[in-house]
Amino acid sequence: MDDLDRRLINRLQLGLPLVRHPWQVLADELQSSARELLDRVHNLLEDGVLTRFGPMFDIERLGGAFTLAALSVPEVRFDEVAGQLHALPEVAHNYRREHPWNMWFVLGCASEQDLSDTLQRIETLTGLPVLNLPKEETYHVGLYFPV
């Protein structure tokens, strides 16, 4: 990654403008060319530095349902349970955390009913009780990683 990659990533975290020639706008800001920036985004995705580029719809406003959930998984079963969750398309993120509740994951489902069915399915699959922690209030959303 060079300086232009970094400036591009930082700028894109603020969002691509909704105009006909968005890359030209960015090229003017970053003193580059639209072609060059598109190639850079392509390479950053290929290299896995970026995992996605595009609008992220708010699933809740589309009638969907999200939650943050946790499991307390016995150490010997950790990889097995991680594999079980990985196979479920509703699981968007799964992190190991240093805590007795050691597996934390986000579920994204098409409806509240679907979410409650998925939680039930996870309990049945793993034989472990799920800690279900849906968000009740949002105080701040501002994910930004200066690189």
Among positions 34-93, residues that touch other proteins (CB under 8 A) are 34-35, 38, 41-42, 47-59, 61-64, 68, 82, 85-86, 89-93
Plot region of 127 (φ>0 → left; ψ -120 to 50 → alpha; else → beta) = left
**Binds other proteins (CB under 8 A): choice among 80, 101, 117, 125:** 101
Q: Compute CA 144 distance to the chain's CA centroid, rounded to the nearest angstrom.
A: 13
In the complex, the smallest distance separating the C-beta of residue 33 from other proteins, rounded to whole angstroms, is: 10
**Choice between 2 and 58, CB closer to other proteins:** 58
> Does position 112 bind other proteins by CB under 8 A?
no
Binding mask 9-38 for other proteins (x = CB under 8 A): x--xxxxxxxxxxxxx---------xx--x
Question: Among all chains, which residue has been given the structure tokens 């105009």?
Answer: 19
Stated as kind and residue range, the H or E segment containing 71 is strand 65-71
Total residues binding other proteins (CB under 8 A)? 75
Output 101 or 125, the one with its CB closest to other proteins. 101
What whole-number distance in Å separates Cα of residue 132 and Cα of residue 128? 12
Instruction: Report the nearest approach of other proteins to the CB of residue 76 (Å).
Output: 16
Closest by CA position to 68, among listed 125, 132, 111: 132
Phi-psi region of 15 (alpha: psi -120 to 50; beta: other; left: phi over 0): left
Q: Which of 62/124 has CB closer to other proteins?
A: 62
CB 92 → other proteins: shortest distance, Å? 6
Q: What radius of gyration do the chain's Cα atoms show?
A: 19
